[in-house]
Amino acid sequence: MSVHGPMGLGGGPLRAVWEQRRSRRYLEEEGRPAWETVRRLLAVLRPHAPRLALALGFTLLAVLLGLVPPLLIRRIIDTAIAHHDSRSLMLSAAGLLLFPAAGALSSLGQNYLNAVVSLGLIHDLRRAMYEHGQRLGLDFFTHTPAGEIHSRLVNDLGAVQQVLRTTMTGPFVNAVTILLTLATMFALNWELALASMLVLPAFALPVFAFGQRSFDAVTRTQEALSALTAHLEETLSLSGIVVVRSFGTREREAGRFAGLSERVRDAQVRQTMVGQRLTLVVSVMSALGPALLYGLGGFMVFSGRVGLGTVVAFSAYLAQLYNPASSLAGSNTTFLGGLALFDRIFRFLDLEIDVAEPETPAPLRKADGSPLTLRYEDVHFAYRGGEEVLHGVSFTAEAGRLTAVVGPSGAGKSTLLALGARFYDPRLGEVRLDGVSLRKLDEGGLRRVMSVVTQDPFLFHNTLEENIRYGRPEASGSEVAAAVEAAQLAGLVASLPAGLGTVVGERGYRLSGGEKQRVAIARAILCNPGVLLLDEATSSLDSHVERLIQEALARLFRGRTVIAIAHRLSTILAADRIVVINDGRLVECGRHAELLDRGGLYARLFHEQFDPVLAPAVARSYKPIVGI
């Protein structure tokens, strides 16, 4: 039976093809109703309401100021020029300068506040998504490509920012402009106003005709971008490019990238053309208004029913009427498309947190680095959507002692360790630390007393010192030096060009596997945990380095509770207790000599792995290093 262990902890195969298909179930479920997305959006906007209200106030002022210039033009034509009134002419001309300037200042304030609110909203969503992603279970990251996650945080939020620029206060600006402009026009002449507004209802048609198309086009574009980003993350990362070059698949991957890029191009073209068709329809309708105005207005001027200045003022108001109406139709369509983006974001934020923080955390009686007992009580576990992989496992890792976990590949060893680290919670049963269920401990308190060293240590693209300090950045220089010495890293540090200040590269790629594992051990030594979990922590060490590090491990283990997944003879023989796991069940438990005498699974695994002639002699040379 193969068990797909958690990322970074070894275990059975991940069944990559199946996982790729399965990954989208987390993020590509059917979207929520549009009204529900709008409700969520309004809730997110609520903290920004004061600034938004002030922005709308500046907007109203700018609209009111914009209504004055056409009235001044009417006054210039019908009064100042007709009656040769130079004073009225000069005042009106000055007003044509001052009112637009004041309106521009109001618009500047509105645009500033609009930017503050929209970018503040993006900041809030970005933080919420990142923090929520940190709380998601390892199951999510096992099944979801990193590029898909990054696309939500980068592509989707970037597109949302573009939407907010046009729709944050735009619909309010346009609606107020239309209402106030119509009121002014009716006050001047109801017949010309009525003729001017006959076309307005037609501007609502594109919203209904193109809104859903825009929503669908945006959704397809973002999905295509997600797939492209995921491929990019995998094949142009350091680890990915090594695999690509090792197997000579550059042309194949370039072809896949070209296909994904074509999907993005086609989706973006469709999204763009939805907007272009909308622009075409609105432009045709916008031409009808001036035709009606000048036709009717001309006859009314001929008959002396209105002055020429009134008709000219109306022509200015038409621009203030139809441009906002056109923008309102466009912004509504853009907003409907933007709902697709917000739906994707809220869908991510709604992902269930598998390992939840307790509302009232229970305290640990010993939180000072003292060794603590870790107990598994009838633990059953199944990965999300899979079959049960642990079946009623019970054992105790005694405080201050080394417990080795052994078993064939895929037996469930890494899963046991992941449950002990509370990367997952059992389906049934409990894992208890010092008698307290891990479910009742807050993560910060647990991490202060527990460290994990994985089979494939992850190092950040930072200096060697920062990687060692990662779990305890406040450590002194002498403490770092002691950890380096204990982990047998002094020689490596001396050989590096900048010593501890050397940047180790992506995932620590400038270091060998054994060097990375020694860095991980130094990091654990520096944290000085009471409980230590190791998943093949010495698997990449050659025989010479392993012998050197045994004394360091002995110091690291002494006085701590240690659970170590072990295949190496050194770790097995040093254990106070050996737990043998097979097919998700505990089948044997005891010391090395006891288990060999029983002739069970442990004895078979031991003799299969080690030379049956040399093993007894080597075994006699090792003594348990903890609790003796």
DSSP string, 310-379: HHHHHHHHHHHHHHHHHHHHHHHHHHHHHHHHHHHHHHHHTS--SSPPPSSPPPPS--SS----EEEEEE
**End-to-end C-alpha distance for the chain, whole angstroms:** 37
Specify the pLDDT at position 525: 84
Specify the pLDDT at position 483: 87
Q: Which residue has the tokens 């991940």?
A: 14
| Contact of 7 with 458, CB cutoff 8 Å | no
In one letter, which amino acid is 127?
Answer: R
Nearest Cα residue to 313 out of 176, 179, 193, 178: 193
| Contact of 508 with 461, CB cutoff 8 Å | no
Low-confidence ranges of the chain (pLDDT < 50): 1-29, 613-615, 617-628
Helix, strand, coil % in the chain, rounded to nearest 5: 65, 10, 25
- Rounded-to-integer distance, Cα 457 and Cα 536, Å: 10
Specify the pLDDT at position 7: 39
| Contact of 529 with 556, CB cutoff 8 Å | no
Nearest Cα residue to 210 out of 220, 200, 218: 218
Specify the pLDDT at position 285: 67
In one letter, which amino acid is 448?
Answer: R
Domains of the chain by start residue, with CATH: 46-349 (1.20.1560.10), 374-621 (3.40.50.300)
Chain CA centroid to CA 349, Å: 9
Specify the pLDDT at position 190: 85
- Rounded-to-integer distance, Cα 151 and Cα 149, Å: 5
Cα 316–319–323 angle (5° rounding)? 165
| Contact of 559 with 400, CB cutoff 8 Å | yes
- 3-class DSSP state of 579: strand
Specify the pLDDT at position 487: 81
CA atoms 284, 288, 289, 293: torsion sign: positive
